[in-house]
Each structure stands twice: as C-alpha cells, then as structure tokens.
Amino acid sequence: MTLLLGVLEEGLIYAVMALGVYITYKILDFPDLSVDSTFPLGAALTASALLAGVNPALTLFFSFAAGALAGCATGLIHVKLKVRDLLSGIIVMTGLYSLNLRIAGGRANVPVFTQDTIFENPFLADHVPGGLAPYAAVLILLLITAVCKVLLDLYLNTRSGYLLRAVGDNESLVTSLAKDKGTVKIVGLAIANGFSSLAGSVYCQHKGFFEISVGTGTIVIGLASVIIGIQLLCPENGVSFLTRLGLPHVRPTTAVIVGSIVYKACISLAISMGMEANDLKLITSLLFLVILVVSTERRKKVKPHA
Amino acid sequence: MKKSVKTLFLAAAAISLLTTGCSGSPAPDTQAPADGKTYTIGIGQFAAHGSLDNCREGFLLGLAEEGIVEGENLTVLYENSQADGGIASQIITNFASQKVDLICGIATPMAQTAYGVGRKQNIPVIYTAVTDPVAAELANADGTPVGEITGTSDKLPVTEQLQMIRTILPDAKTIGIMYTTSEVNSLSTVQEYKDAAGDYGFEIVDVGISTTADVPLAADSLLEKVDCVTNLTDNTVVASLPVILDKAAKKNIPVFGSEIEQVKIGCLAAMGLDYIDLGKQTGRMAAAVLKGEKKASEMNFEVIQEASFCGNTKVAENLGITIPDDLMASVKELFTEIEQ
C-alpha cells in the first residue's frame, strides 16, 4: 500500500512536467532540453519563497511564471536568434544552473522541513480527518495534476491552441493563415516550461528540500512518460486496447499522466525486485530504448499509408 | 491494440530479464539468533563514492560490534541513487513499504529524503556523512534531533588540521583552498577555516570553481599565491586532486589532505576523518535504536571523536620536509609511496 501510494505520488508530481514535454515533443516536435533546468528552477524558487514566508499555494503560480519566462527565453533564442532547437534548450539549461543556485541563495541544498507547504500546513492539519491523512498527499497531487490537465485541454481547444497543434503538424498552414509560427512556438515552450517549473515546485514541497541535482534526467522521465502513455492509451492509428474493449477514447493528456505513473511504477518494480543498485541508470536507459524502438517501428508502418 | 499491450509487456520483460540476473536484496532471514530478534534495515546511499562506501562498510561493522550481524540477525536492503534525487525518494519509499525497522541515509540529500518519508511512516532514520546537520534541518541549533532522526556529521576537524600544518610548516603564512561554489559543505568549511586561521598565524586564500574543467587554471592561480594548500572533502576538487598535486609538486608546494585516501595518492599529510570509523560510530548509534535502548530523537548528532593523523613519507622526501616526531608518534597510517 505504501509502495502504491509512493508510486502514485511520484508519478503525479512528474505527470505535470510530462504534460509540458507532451506539448514540446509531441505537439511542437521540438526537443526541448530546458526542462532539465526549469524543474529545479521551480524547486529553487519555491524553497526561497517558502523561507521568505510566501504562501505555499502562491509559490505554485510564481514557479509557473518563472518557468514560462525561461521557456520564452528558449523560444526567443531559437526563433529570433535562429539557433537550432536542441542547442537553444542546452543554452538555457546551462545558464539556468547558475541562476538556480543564485535563486537558492548560493546554496546547492535548501531544506524547508520546518516551513508550511501545500502538503503540510495548519489548515490541512485541522480539516483532514485522521483516517484520510495518509492519502492527503495523493489527493492534493491528483487535484493539482487534474487542474493542469483540464486547463491544458481547454487551452488546446482555443484558437491559440489550434495554432499550436498546427505548427507541429504543418508549419506552412500556419503561415498561410497569416500567423507567425515563431510566436506560436514561443507560447508552446513557455507553457511547457511553466508546467515543468510548477512540477519542480510541487516536488520541493513534497520532499521538503531543494537540491541542485533534482533536475538531472528530467527530460528522460518526461519523454518516457509521454511515449509510454501515448503508445499505451492513444496510439497514432487511434485504436488502443481501450477502444477495443468498448471503453471511451481518452485524451492524450490523460494518457501522458498515466504514462508518468506507469514509468515510475516500472522503476519502483525494478528497485523492489532487488536489482543491483549500480545498474539502475542502465535499466532506465534500456527501458527508454525499448519503448523508443517499439514506437519508431509503429511510425514506419503507419506513414507509408498516410 | 495488441501492439500497444505488447509494448508494455516488452518493457516489463526487459526489466525482469535484466533484474533477475543481478544479485539482489536477500530474502528476509528466518533463522533466529540467540535473543530471537531479527532486524531489517534499509541503507540508502546518495552516490557511489569511495568515502561514502567506507561509511557504509563502517556502519555495518559498528552494528556487528553491537551483535547485530548481517546474515545472522540482520537483513540489509542496500540501494544507491547514483546522485539522482528522484531515484533517491523512490528508494526510500520502497524501504518504507517493506516496513524496515530503520533507514540509514548516507550523505545529505539521502538523509533529507529519508527524513521526509520516514517521519510520515514512523521509521527512525540514522544518517552519516552529513557535514552540517543543522543547516540541513536534520538537527536543531543545539544539536538535538528534529524528530526520530540522528546520526553523525563528517565535519572536518579544522583546528586540528591548522595545528598540524603549523607543526609541519613553522614558517608558512598563507594556505590555499580550492572549493566548488555549488557544494554547501565546502562553503561552510572554508568559512570555518577563515575564522580559525588567524589563531594559528595563517591567512586563507580561497578560489572557487564551478566545474572540473576549471580546476587546472584555478590551481595555477592559487599556487602563485600560497605557501601550502589544504584540501576539503569537496567532491569535484577531490575527483581532480591528481591535477592539483601534479602542479603543486612542480612548484614544490605541499598539499594537505582531509582524509586518508587523499594522503594515499600524494597529499603530504592529513589530520582528518576516517570514514570507516565514522561509519562504525554511526552503526553503534543505529544498534542502540534497533535494540530499543534509546530513541533516535533522544540522541544528539555526533561528530567524529578524534581526528586521525596520517602522512606520506615519500611526498615528504620529495618536498624535502621532515614530519616532526611528535606527529609521527600519533600516526594512524603512514604511506611510504604514492599510489597512482
């Protein structure tokens, strides 16, 4: 039970970030590495803000805003300065490392165990019945993730959201509509990194400390979640096992959240199966490779008929 | 549809294939020892690193001294997060779900993660290799624990080190220190050196770096300004220590270490930590908690009881320095050659 809750908690925290990666990787087709630094950005900002006495819930909004700014920076470097997509992300990622340390007050590790967080505060202590306490964190995370997902779904159905999807699929269409595809990309990157930073904020409050290394490998988790989720629940040919079973079609955003939980479950399974500690990174990368290989196979089959 | 389900199975199969081959955590031990009590503990180590490995080894030795022996009445679940914070928290959650009696967190981030999870599950936590438990919010300013968590700090014996340098180099005026700006422990130790240096007639010259790539240039600039160099337990600098030692040797400038491993590879001497000893001390604390003699919340965190002196006579010979006899009398380990 503890393990299940642990997997759900971990999965849901990273699901918010994975929603961001879904926008860049799947919708915009932009390999955005800046999430590796916007995730700790949110965590650093949150740790500093909590120590300064800022309301824990407010830190979520600040983090989103800061992440969105960083995303804009990646976008501007790519669109206005014409730097390649991968490099723009790397530039922002490298620069933000120093900035994150600055934000955290020059410290690589900032504990916030004694501060109120969205998971531990007087309000929750008063209003959550004792029996529900072990599930409080999961419920709060579920709420945050659900709100992010619904807002993203709503956004993708607006005019701006349609343009975002169009840029990934067919850039010329966007140009023919007299819209600037560069601006659309910047908006997409801003939202994506906003989500990543927001996830970092939640992570910091959940764990009770900020550590400069938390961002390492964020993109791997994000990509794995997106690919697992999409492959599993809404593959490109539109026929998932859900539809075969007569169940309703799920949105890609839901699939990504499920993907994040499945990914964390796989890691947890690997740990609890008693694998050699030192092989964990290798297993992560192999798991990733297997999923990628299987997904490219599918693309080959679909494209010739498309 | 079949494909997508297959994808998952493939992934799952890949993991199981990979994992079953590896030696893993042993099944809970059923054989009962003399007092009939068996324990299961989880050791979470933040990174694979010589000093931290020594901590873990010492920890198990310390437990054994108190009659809690791995394989007899103790089952040890050991995981290493390879410096990945996300993995660290999954490791600890995994320990919690297996209802371990105690979690041992090695290095600051792992100790913090263990406390974050442990306090919700009522599992006591023992940490080691946490340089500043107060700054990490694992202990209050007076040394009392913040909850069911206690352990040992690997704070360097700064004054003993300064005293030793003064004894070996009576005429030296400046000591150089290189540190990484992102390592919290190094920052606080450098400050401590600066505060104490005056008492021994030294002046500290520090140089901060941000990556391994900065080490050669920083070393050149530092060696221009100092009479000797002392080294911290800074991870980045320690990893590049051979570069500094090489440059210092060419200029005939002595470099002092902070632990035994550094003296082995060419530091002149160190009044430092023995991580095995530190681990043993931690293990004894864990034994007290496991046996129910004391609660973790009733024990203040401890620092290493005594600094141990070790020296390298080959390095001394190269530099034309003789290590004074009174230091030699207390030597814990003496190296006669430089290990490459």
- Interface contact B213, partner A, CB < 8 A: no
Give the torsion sign (CA, B132, B133, B137, B140).
negative
**How sure is the predictor about A303, in pLDDT bands with cuts at 50, 70 and 90?**
very low
Angle at alpha carbon of residue A216, lines to A146 and A116, rounded to 5°: 50
CB within 8 Å: A108 and B24 = no
Distances (CA, A) of B212 to A100, B178, B238, B240: 19, 12, 10, 7
**Which has the higher per-residue pLDDT, A61 or B156?**
A61
The confidence score (pLDDT) of residue A134 equals 81
**Are residues A208 and B187, on separate chains, in Cβ contact within 8 Å?**
no
Whether ipTM exceeds 0.90:
no
Q: What percentage of chain A reaches a pLDDT higher than 90?
A: 53
The pLDDT of A57-77, averaged and rounded, is: 96
Q: CB distance B14–A3 less than 8 Å?
A: no
Residues of A in contact with B145 (CB under 8 A): none
Question: A94, A141, A211: best mutation site toward chain B, by most B Cβ within 10 Å?
Answer: A211
Considering only alpha carbons, which residue of chain B is nearest residue A220? B86
d(CA B261, CA B267): 9
In whole angstroms, give the CA distance from residue B183 to residue A108.
6
Q: 3-state DSSP: chain B helix, strand, coil percent, rounded to 5?
A: 45, 20, 35
Which residues have a Cβ under 8 Å from the Cβ of A297 and sit 6 or more positions away?
none
> Looking at residue A113, what is its pLDDT?
87
C-alpha B222/C-alpha B175 separation (Å) is: 10
Compare CB distances from B93 to A6, A209, A273 and report the shortest one's residue: A6
User: What single string gives the DSSP state of each residue in A127-138?
Assistant: HS-GGGHHHHHH
Optimal mutation site among B123, B182, B186, interface A, most CBs of chain A within 10 A: B182
Bridge partners for B205 per DSSP: B176
Nearest CA in chain A to B11: A287
With tokens 């873990």, the residue in question is B56
User: Closest chain A residue to B94 measured between Cα atoms?
Assistant: A3
**pLDDT for residue B23:** 37
Report CA B167 to chain centroid distance, whole Å: 27
Among B6, B113, B181, beta carbon nearest to A207: B113
Residue of A nearest to B87 (CA): A267
Query: Which one of B82, B108, B115 has the shortest CB-CB distance to A280?
Result: B82
Q: Please, what is the average pLDDT of chain A?
A: 87
Which helix (H) or strand (E) segment holds residue B147: the answer is none
Across the interface, of B121, B135, B137, the residue whose CB is closest to A114 is B137
Are B11 and A274 within 8 A, CB to CB? no
CA distances from B306 to A209, B106, B208, B232, B332 (A): 31, 21, 29, 17, 11
d(CA B205, CA B216): 17
More confident residue, A263 or A284: A263
Pick from B190, B52, B193, B239: nearest CA to A277: B52
Mutate to test the interface with A, among B6, B93, B181 (most CBs of A within 10 A): B93
Report in angstroms the alpha-carbon separations of B315 from B175, B254, B265, B325: 18, 8, 10, 16
C-alpha triplet A254, A258, A263: angle, nearest 5°: 145
What is the spatial distance between Cα B335 and Cα B268, in angstroms, rounded to a whole number? Answer: 10
Separation of CA B216 from chain center: 25
Mean pLDDT value of segment A185-204 = 96
Which pLDDT value is given to residue B181?
A: 81
Other beta carbons less than 10 A from residue B59's beta carbon: 32
Structural domains in chain B, CATH included, are 35-155+276-303 (3.40.50.2300), 158-273+307-335 (3.40.50.2300)
B120 and B231 Cβ atoms separated by less than 8 Å: no
* Facing B85 at nearest CB: one of A211, A279, A295: A211
| B201 has a chain A CB within 8 A of its CB | no
Q: Which of B1, B15, B16 sits opposite A239 (nearest CB)?
A: B1
Contact criterion met (CB below 8 Å) for B198 and B253: no
Per-residue pLDDT of A86-110, as tens digits, reads 999 999 999 999 899 999 988 888 9
Q: Which residues of B touch A107 (CB under 8 A)?
A: 184, 187
Whole-number pLDDT of residue A141:
96
User: From B21, which residue of chain A is nearest by alpha-carbon distance?
Assistant: A275
Nearest CA in chain B to A297: B3
CA A149 to chain centre: 11
| Subunit contact B90:A6, Cβ cutoff 8 A | yes
User: Quick one: pLDDT at residue B21?
Assistant: 38
A295 within 8 A of A231, measured Cβ to Cβ: yes
CA distance linking residue B144 with residue B167, whole number of Å: 35
**Start-to-end C-alpha separation, chain B:** 58
Q: How many CB atoms lie within 10 A of CB B75?
A: 21
A274–B116 C-beta distance less than 8 A: no
> Roughly what angle, to the nearest 10 degrees, separates helices B85-97 and A2-21?
160
- Output DSSP code: residue B145: B
By C-alpha distance, which of A286, A211, A49 is closest to B89? A211
Are A273 and B78 in contact (CB < 8 Å)? no
Domain ranges (residues) in chain A:
2-216
- List, for residues A266-300, the tens digit of each pLDDT value: 888 888 777 766 677 777 778 778 876 776 655 55
Contact check, Cβ <8 Å, B7/A291: yes
Beta-strand relationship, B174-180 and B228-230: parallel
Counting one residue from chain A and one from chain B, the pairs whose CB atoms sit within 8 A come to 173
Pairing of strands B302-303, B269-272: unpaired
CA–CA distance from A127 to each of A278, B117, B122, B142 (Å)?
Answer: 43, 22, 22, 33
Sign of CA dihedral A231, A237, A241, A243: positive
What pLDDT score was predicted for residue A237? 65
Report the pLDDT value the prediction gives residue B251, as an integer from 0 to 100.
92
Q: What is the pLDDT of residue B13?
A: 46
Q: Are strands B228-230 and B255-256 parallel, antiparallel or unpaired?
A: parallel
pLDDT, position A201: 97
CA distances from A255 to A65, A290, B141 (A): 25, 19, 47
In this predicted structure, the answer to whether residue A239 has a pLDDT above a threshold of 70 is no
* B128 close contact with A: CB closer than 8 A: no
Phi-psi region of B165 (alpha: psi -120 to 50; beta: other; left: phi over 0): alpha
Mean pLDDT per 10-residue interval, chain B, length 340 residues: 47 44 40 68 87 91 94 92 82 90 93 89 92 90 92 91 94 94 83 94 92 89 94 86 92 92 91 89 95 93 85 93 89 86
Which chain A residues are closer than 8 Å to B210 by Cβ?
Answer: 98
B260 three-class SS: helix
Residue B286: which of B88, B43, B77 has the closest Cα? B43
- How many CB atoms are located within 10 Å of the residue B181 CB? 15
Contacts of A272 in chain B (CB under 8 A): 94, 97-98
User: What's the pLDDT at B24?
Assistant: 39
**Straight-line distance from the first to the last Cα atom of chain A, in angstroms, rounded to the nearest whole number:** 45
Residues B237, B209: contact at Cβ < 8 Å? yes
| A277–chain B nearest CA distance, Å | 5
Name the region of B277 (left: φ>0; alpha: ψ -120 to 50; beta: rest). Answer: alpha
B93 touches chain A (CB under 8 A): yes
How far, in Å, CA of A292 to CA of A270, rounded? 19
By Cβ distance, the residue of B16, B87, B210 closest to A280 is: B87
